[in-house]
Structure 1
Amino acid sequence: MSLLRAEWTKFRSVRGWVLSSVAAVLMILLFPVTGLSGGAPEETAEVPTGPDGEPVASAYYFVRRTLSGNGQLTVEVTGLSTLRGTPWAKAGLLITTSPEPGARYAAVMITRDHGVRMQHDYLHDRPGPAGGTHWLRLTRSGAVVTGEASADGTHWSIVDTVRLPELATTVEAGLFVAAPPRAEGLGTATDVATATFTNVVSTGRWATVQPDGDPREAGGSPSDDGDESAPRVDGGAAPDGSGDRGTDTKGGTITSSAGETGTSAGGAGSDSEGDRRDAGAGRKARAVADGWTGEQVGAETAGFGGYPPGMSGGFTLAGHEFTVTGTGDLGPAVRSEMPFGATIGELLAGTFPAMVVIVVAATLMWTTEYRYGLIRSTLAVGPHRVRVLAAKAAVFGGVTFVTTLAATAVAIPVWSSLARGLSVYLFPAGTEVLFRVAAGTAAVLAGVGVLALGAGVILRRSATAVTAVVTVTVLPYLLALIPFVPGPMAQWLTRVTPAAAMAVQQTLIRYPQVDSVYTPTNGYYPLSPWGGLTVLGAWTVVVLAVAAVLLRRRDA
């Protein structure tokens, strides 16, 4: 204890060391002001929020009808192709409370490279049977939705059964197609998928949309003694025997079951490049054919990249076959699709200049004693050299942890509020995550300070020690943040160097069902927060051990 008191007294009495702690705190509190900016609220696109309050991607082409009560929909997916080969391109059946972004849903689907899946409410994903599956079935019974798959349309396997709380009596259900952006190199590229569906069979009370826009029920109702459980094969003649007309989103035509065509939304015969470009950018338009309504959901949401030039979403119906083209995704939102957003870790950008200040102060705490010959007096008070080193490390590490913890605890809520006031979208984080970020950041700075103290003992020269510590702590992380650094190198730098500890500031989650650019540049680290902190701890222990050995063998 006497050594700790002596080192604490010495720390307080040296004005430069105290000022270094103050400077580190100010860096954390004030540094974000240099880079934080926002836009006018009216210029900020909507970020859909899922049922659990998380940001989600909710964009897809939906060919739907309205289902009242319980019902079932069966389909055979005979083809799925994409422009760029996105692995998670998907086509299948979907039921939702509303065709609005962020609404609850359940879907069974066939994907390009990941087989049959059952997904619901954006975060949940369950694989289905492997190999040769083309048939899908979705059954609604109250709030319970069951997804099934089959290779022959006769023998069925349940993929998953999910419960959608507060599912209304009347829901929207039908065919959907989505194509998430494909991860290519350092970024992503918009993709488009086209799927063909046939043998669409529905049971239950389904409302159809007629050319005049009036909904009518198919399958009967209690008032007219119809059998609502009788299956209906879609893609044939409309219930009243008439051929339906409809428009697609690119201003072309849709062929109805009767072989008639309708004029485009842009005017009769209009199919100009300008019309296609507007639709590709996400203009909300509807198409109607044989009682089915088709539209691009989520066209105006943040993260929706639209369609490539000359392409657009839509569907056609010829005989019993639907052909549906769409883009977008249903799943958790990822950073690469919302680069305008900010994370809690980015609000603590002052961590890096604060780290440099702490490294300088920690090395000087030991090297100045060698420079001015004070080391002999220090060792005279405490002849056990390793204990002296431990006392200095405890004092400096403790002071750094306490002061920077206070700084991060203030900076996070203050800068979060300011960011929202500037219309900067802030990725949400729970209370436990915020506590981990604050305490973890303080632990990282304290650990780096102790590591720098050990480096000062080993190298004895301030400039050399500071350069060495900055090279292995700050520099690797800054390199990993450069967008042009290859992903594998960025992953390696934040896995084996002390910079791995910055994973404590990670608030984003990597989801296996979303293909994206998961790099430190976008806020994703290869190690878990505590795994990264362990790497820094290992470096610090090794450096202190070497310092202790050299301290015992060297002359003062």
Structure 2
Amino acid sequence: MTAVTPYRPGQRTGRDGFAQLLRAEWTKLRTVRGWMVGLALVTLLIVGLGVLFATGSRSSCSNGPIEVPCPAPLMGPGGVAVEDRFYFVHQPLAGDGSVTVRVSSMTGQLRKPDVTPGVRNVVPGVTPWAKAGVMIKQSVRQGTAYAALMVTGSHGVRMQHNFTEDLAGRPGGVSAASPRWLRLTRTGDTITGEESADGSHWTTVGTVRPAGLSGKAEIGLFAASPGDLTVTPNVMGGAAVASRFAEVTAVMDRVAVRGVAAGGAWGRDDIGVTMETDGVTPHHPGGLVQSGGTFKVTGVGDIAPSAEGMPVERVLTGVLIALVAMTAVAVMFVTAEYRRGLIRTTLLASPRRGRVLAAKAAVIAAAVFAAGLVGGAVTVPVGRSILAGNGNVLAPAAPFTSLRVIVGTAALLAVAAVFALAVGALLRRSAMAVIAVIVAILVPYVLAVASVLPDEVSRWLLRVTPAAGFAIQQTMPTYAHVTARYAPAEGHFPLPPWAGFAVLCAYAALALALAAHRLRRSDV
């Protein structure tokens, strides 16, 4: 006769293995038609609304009275979209060499809103990132590699190269009484920038090895000035942003160039200058006035990364509505058992209650991740193809960046589903739980990006609420040396992608722990 071991509550049996729990919870999910329809709806909403947005977005540029397709963004080294407009006074450099200059003055003019209709309101002034100094550039073609040492309007001496890299030197400006000496030296593939207050005692600002600057190049003096950016807060929140014309004029002397042909003539190029509608007359040109050994260089424009173009995440607008559908499924996945009284049966079959909740969380997370992954993988390439076909300018995106946005969007929905499941287990009421999740995740995000709140309040919401998880989708980088409105309304989140996602994960883990605690202590 075979002995039978009696069952004791809480004892682990074969039926209580986690793999069996996962199988049981997956069976529950897939056998309820409404839940599977809801998951399919998540995918369809991401794809459908993304394609609808792309189809309805059209753009063109004017060439006089004619509408023409907008040009693609100018690409710099490394595939980054850039701005590359400045005035360049230069000579050819074949091997090692250097350029030394003393900068004794930086002045400029800014366009302000007109006070009298029809009368241009131009005032003296220099923008904070106006720049003038010495440069080595691969060629005078826009977007080519460069390294530059400069004095700026408000950020002291800087050494920059290949548009995205920036090193700080000493702070302060320039004047006739307090000039700045700058020296840029190329040795092989190494560029060294040095500064001095007297031309005798030099301090190294930085040593860099920019790709593309080891062969033939141009060396000389330059000046550039980005537009005068003003951000005016609105009474009801958000801000009005305007960028107006600005130019800078730098006075430079004591110019010494080593490594170029003796007595060579200076070339002059207004790199990137735009033309009037006649196609001949430069619009806001730079210039050079040379008197003996003194160079007065005037420049407009900027040498910096560009923020132009639609980013990858723009086609994923359907994720917001898909999140609502996902929330309903995730909440009902647990509340339905309480409403129908089936939770007792579930817990009898598996007395270890925390494992039951963990199995539910794993199943709903995996199912939602799959739905979001399919939606993102279809929407991103298809949507961007449609946008490009409609004449829209697209921000460049590396393959890894696009992959991170697609996978990150799926992970965002999956973790949000775990959060929704946990809230459902805590409240045990479907409607209340759905509303609570929407208020916690969706409302802060919409308020932050809709430009209805002050920028700092928007940043705060995207740091401390579960909406921080949307940072996983952002692709707009923030550059300290570029003047821009870095606000959520412009696609700039206060936390890096994975840090923001970690905030959402922390909320989901906390909610799940609280739900497990309540489940263990309750009678059902």
TM-score by structure 2 length? 0.80
Q: Which residue of 1 aligns with 2:287?
A: 314
Equivalent residue of 1:107, what SS?
strand
> Could you tell me which of 263, 269, 275 is aligned with 1:218?
263
Supply the distance in 2 between the matched residues of 1:465 and 1:512 (Cα, whole angstroms). Answer: 41
1:360 Cα deviation after fit = 1.1
> Could you tell me which of 476, 481, 501 is aligned with 2:444?
476
CA contact (8 A) 1:133 1:149 kept: no
1:180 Cα deviation after fit = 2.3
Q: Which residue of 2 aligns with 1:126?
A: 167
| Aligned amino acid, residue 334 of structure 2 | W
> Could you tell me which of 380, 385, 390 is aligned with 1:422?
390
Supply the distance in 2 between the matched residues of 1:166 and 1:451 (Cα, whole angstroms). Answer: 49
Equivalent residue of 1:548, what SS?
helix
Moved more, 405-414 or 448-457: 405-414
| Aligned amino acid, residue 184 of structure 2 | L
Q: Return structure 1 stretches of 4+ with deviation > 6 angstroms.
A: none
**C-alpha offsets along residues 428-483 of structure 1, whole Å, 9 cap, x if unaligned?**
33333333222221111111111111111222222221111101101111111113
Supply the distance in 2 between the matched residues of 1:472 and 1:375 (Cα, whole angstroms). Answer: 26
CA contact (8 A) 1:140 1:146 kept: yes
Supply the distance in 2 between the matched residues of 1:537 and 1:164 (Cα, whole angstroms). Answer: 39
Supply the distance in 2 between the matched residues of 1:48 and 1:33 (Cα, whole angstroms). Answer: 26
> Could you tell me which of 333, 353, 361 is aligned with 1:393?
361
Asked whether 1:109 is paired with 2:134, we answer no
> Could you tell me which of 357, 365, 370 is aligned with 2:338?
370
1:88 Cα deviation after fit = 1.9
What are the within-5 Å matches in structure 2 for residues 80-229 of structure 1? 80-82=106-108, 83=110, 85-129=126-170, 134-141=180-187, 143-163=189-209, 167=213, 171-185=217-231, 186=239, 187-190=241-244, 191-206=246-261, 218=263
What are the within-5 Å matches in structure 2 for residues 224-235 of structure 1? none
Supply the distance in 2 between the matched residues of 1:79 and 1:515 (Cα, whole angstroms). Answer: 22
Q: Which residue of 2 aligns with 1:234?
A: none
Structure 2 unpaired stretches of 5+: 1-18, 62-67, 111-124, 173-177, 232-238, 276-282
Supply the distance in 1 between the matched residues of 2:88 and 2:226 (Cα, whole angstroms). Answer: 15
1:196 Cα deviation after fit = 1.6
Q: Which residue of 1 aligns with 2:297?
A: 324
Q: Which residue of 1 aligns with 2:320?
A: 352
1:538 and 1:133, CA in 2 relative to 1: closer, same or farther beyond 3 A? farther
| Aligned amino acid, residue 23 of structure 1 | L
CA contact (8 A) 2:365 2:417 kept: yes
Equivalent residue of 1:52, what SS?
helix
**C-alpha offsets along residues 475-511 of structure 1, whole Å, 9 cap, x if unaligned?**
1111111134322112111111111111111223222
What are the within-5 Å matches in structure 2 for residues 490-505 of structure 1? 490-505=458-473
Equivalent residue of 2:347, what SS?
helix
Q: Which residue of 1 aligns with 2:6?
A: none
Asked whether 1:59 is paired with 2:75, we answer no
1:165 Cα deviation after fit = 5.0
1:16 and 1:140, CA in 2 relative to 1: closer, same or farther beyond 3 A? same
| Aligned amino acid, residue 488 of structure 1 | E
What are the within-5 Å matches in structure 2 for residues 12-31 of structure 1? 12-31=30-49
**C-alpha offsets along residues 279-300 of structure 1, whole Å, 9 cap, x if unaligned?**
xxxxxxxxxxxx5454432234
Asked whether 1:44 is paired with 2:70, we answer yes
Supply the distance in 1 between the matched residues of 2:474 and 2:181 (Cα, whole angstroms). Answer: 41
Give the aligned CA root-mean-square deviation in angstroms: 2.7
CA contact (8 A) 2:146 2:213 kept: no
Supply the distance in 1 between the matched residues of 2:193 and 2:228 (Cα, whole angstroms). Answer: 27
Equivalent residue of 1:552, what SS?
helix
Q: Which residue of 1 aligns with 2:103?
A: 77
Equivalent residue of 2:78, what SS?
coil
Structure 1 unpaired stretches of 5+: 207-216, 220-290, 302-308
Q: Which residue of 1 aligns with 2:517?
A: 549
1:474 and 1:144, CA in 2 relative to 1: closer, same or farther beyond 3 A? same
1:384 and 1:299, CA in 2 relative to 1: closer, same or farther beyond 3 A? same
Equivalent residue of 1:324, what SS?
strand
1:218 and 1:294, CA in 2 relative to 1: closer, same or farther beyond 3 A? same
1:159 Cα deviation after fit = 2.9
1:485 and 1:183, CA in 2 relative to 1: closer, same or farther beyond 3 A? farther
Supply the distance in 2 between the matched residues of 1:322 and 1:414 (Cα, whole angstroms). Answer: 52
Supply the distance in 2 between the matched residues of 1:402 and 1:365 (Cα, whole angstroms). Answer: 17
Equivalent residue of 1:39, what SS?
coil
1:171 and 1:519, CA in 2 relative to 1: closer, same or farther beyond 3 A? same
1:142 Cα deviation after fit = 5.5
Supply the distance in 2 between the matched residues of 1:161 and 1:364 (Cα, whole angstroms). Answer: 60
**C-alpha offsets along residues 515-547 of structure 1, whole Å, 9 cap, x if unaligned?**
322222222221122211111111112212222
| Aligned amino acid, residue 325 of structure 1 | T
Equivalent residue of 1:218, what SS?
coil
Supply the distance in 2 between the matched residues of 1:412 and 1:170 (Cα, whole angstroms). Answer: 40
**C-alpha offsets along residues 155-195 of structure 1, whole Å, 9 cap, x if unaligned?**
33333344455558654332211122354334352333222
CA contact (8 A) 1:116 1:133 kept: no
Equivalent residue of 2:141, what SS?
coil
1:536 and 1:71, CA in 2 relative to 1: closer, same or farther beyond 3 A? closer
1:300 and 1:361, CA in 2 relative to 1: closer, same or farther beyond 3 A? farther
1:204 and 1:411, CA in 2 relative to 1: closer, same or farther beyond 3 A? same
What are the within-5 Å matches in structure 2 for residues 417-456 of structure 1? 417-456=385-424
| Aligned amino acid, residue 43 of structure 1 | P
Give aligned pairs, total: 462
Equivalent residue of 2:368, what SS?
helix
CA contact (8 A) 1:87 1:111 kept: yes
1:363 Cα deviation after fit = 1.4
